[in-house]
Every structure is written in C-alpha cells, then in structure tokens.
C-alpha cells in the first residue's frame, strides 16, 4: 500500500490507474478505524479495481464546543489495518495541505435546505464543513465511486445532492450500518463510553426498532411515533435531541401514502453525542 500526504502524488498515481483502464473507489474517513469503516473498504473493493482511503480529521466540520482537539487519532495503526485489508492507497493530508490559505478563509460548498434541518439545526455549519472537504477529496482523488456509511444518513443525502448539483462524475453508494452485538451503531465516539454507558446507549437502536415495527404494523401518526421513541430514549437515561421520520432521499415530511421512510435520531449520553437511523420500506 502507498501512503501519501501530497496531492500531486495522489493525482499522479490515480491518473496512472485510470490511463491503464482501471477504476477507483474512494472511502473518505476521519480515521480511528473500526469494523464499520472496514465494511466500507470491503464494499469499495467490490466496486472498483483500486481502493483509496483518505484519513483527515477535518476542522471545519467541528463546532466551537465540539471534540476536534480530542478526536481520537491513530494514523499508524489505521495504516497497518488498511494495508492488511489490501487497500492500494492511503491519502493522509495535513490541514495545511487541504487548506493552504487557512481553513477560516477557504472556499466552501453549501447545500441549502437539506443541510439546515435535523443535524444541521443542532450543529450549525457542520454540513458545510463536510460538503466542502468531501468536494475537495473528490476533486483530488477523481474516483469513479465513493463509499459512505448509512449511519450518517443525512450526510449521505446531502453529498448525493451536492454531487448531482455540481455535475461531479462520481457515483456515491451507502453501505449499511455495522453494529455491535448489542445493536449499538459502530462509531469512533463509542470509545468515549464505558461499558455501562454502551449498554445504556442500546436504547437508541431499540427505540428505532420499535418505531419501525409500528410503521410496518400500519401506524401513520408520525408525530406520535416520534414522541414515543424520544420518550423511550429519555427514559433509558439519554438526552434525545430529536427523533424524526422522513422520506428516504430528500428527508421531506412523509404523508399517509409514503412507502420509503427513514427514522433518524440523535441523543447525548454524558458528553458523547450519538446518531443512528433505520430505513423502513412499507
């Protein structure tokens, strides 16, 4: 596996692959890799001839009171894991490489509407940071396909809109969420939780499953289902920020005849903020 921090080196190698007729899949990550990330790598290997993984903890998607400085970083261990998985190229740029004139004055990409609700309402500016850095990574790596996790469902919907609106020549795919045995969605931030908190956090998935069951049984009072799931999460000892039932794709409000839904939630447990979702096909 090659490991580069230079944009020019990345572009030159990927250009060689394309000139030889090969296809390229990109998996953008912030590192501290776990089994969920590796499922994205496996999906990428099935989608293209060459797999590129980027590791970059992007400062512009963290709010002023969030955990940018403390976000877990394990680049050398991640590199070994990716090499063992058969990844062709690890791109691990510095902040200066990605934002040579400074992150505060860098050009940004904003997807209005989708970026302003749910996660966007609770984390102002977060999605602008995500879309801006992913647009950079797509332009640098020129992949044929990019692979993301379904756990960040709203993020994926926004990135798909961005790629379509900007006519980016890349196909975006989502890989289903990897879960712990207890149902908790895998996340780098789970490492902040002790064993008891990890068990408490399973209430998130259980509440989503209950909403899913009721939807499949014919319930259509979406606000009531949202309130019930939120109450269940709160009763378990977490602080829910929202539970929302939305249309798959554009995250619009569903109607009585909707058939493709996603139930999304975010909740805090101590200082840790956790998100999850379930897709429901009626």
CA atoms of 121 and 119, how far apart (whole Å): 5
The residue from 34, 37, 50, 126 that is catalytic is: 37
Distance (Å, whole) CA 3 – CA 78: 11
Closest CA to 144 of 175, 170, 179: 170
CA distance 219 to 256: 10
Q: How far apart are CA 203 and CA 188, in angstroms?
A: 18
- Indicate if 50 belongs to the active site: no
How many CB atoms sit inside 10 A of residue 33's CB? 23
CB 264 within 8 A of CB 154: yes
Q: Which two tokens stand for residue 44?
A: 């990428």
Nearest one of 234, 238, 224 to 269, comparing CA atoms: 238
Separation of alpha carbons 93 and 183, rounded Å: 33
Residue 195 exposed, middle or buried by CB count within 10 Å (0-12, 13-18, 19+): exposed
Buried b (16+ CB within 10 A) or exposed e, 98-110: bbeeebeeeeebe
Candidates 129, 130, 131, 120; CA nearest to 162 is 131
Residue count of the chain, please give it: 282
Q: Would you please indicate which residues are annotated as catalytic (active-site) residues?
A: 37
């Amino acid at each position: 596996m090659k490991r580069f921090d230079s944009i020019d080196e990345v572009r030159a190698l990927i250009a060689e692959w394309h000139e030889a007729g090969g296809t390229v899949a990109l998996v953008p990550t912030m590192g501290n890799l776990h089994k969920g990330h590796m499922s994205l790598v496996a999906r990428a290997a099935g989608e293209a001839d060459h797999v590129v993984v980027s590791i970059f903890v992007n400062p512009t998607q963290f709010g002023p009171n969030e955990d940018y400085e403390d976000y877990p970083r394990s680049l050398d261990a991640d590199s070994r894991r990716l090499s063992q998985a058969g990844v062709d190229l690890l791109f691990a740029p510095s902040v200066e490489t990605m934002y040579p004139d400074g992150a505060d004055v860098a050009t940004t990409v904003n997807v209005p509407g989708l970026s302003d609700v749910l996660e966007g309402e609770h984390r102002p500016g977060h999605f602008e940071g995500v879309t801006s850095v992913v647009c950079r990574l797509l332009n640098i790596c020129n992949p044929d396909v990019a692979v993301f996790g379904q756990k960040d469902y709203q993020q994926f919907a926004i990135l798909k809109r961005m790629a379509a609106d900007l006519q980016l020549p890349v196909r975006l795919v989502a890989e289903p969420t990897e879960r712990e045995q207890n149902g908790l969605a895998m996340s780098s931030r789970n490492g902040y939780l002790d064993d008891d908190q990890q068990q408490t956090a399973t209430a998130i998935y259980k509440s989503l499953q209950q909403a899913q069951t009721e939807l499949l049984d014919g319930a259509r009072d979406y606000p009531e289902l949202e309130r019930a799931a939120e109450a269940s999460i709160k009763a378990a000892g977490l602080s829910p920020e929202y539970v929302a039932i939305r249309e798959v794709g554009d995250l619009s409000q569903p109607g009585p005849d909707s058939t493709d839904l996603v139930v999304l939630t975010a909740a805090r447990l101590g200082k840790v903020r956790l998100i999850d979702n379930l897709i429901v096909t009626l």
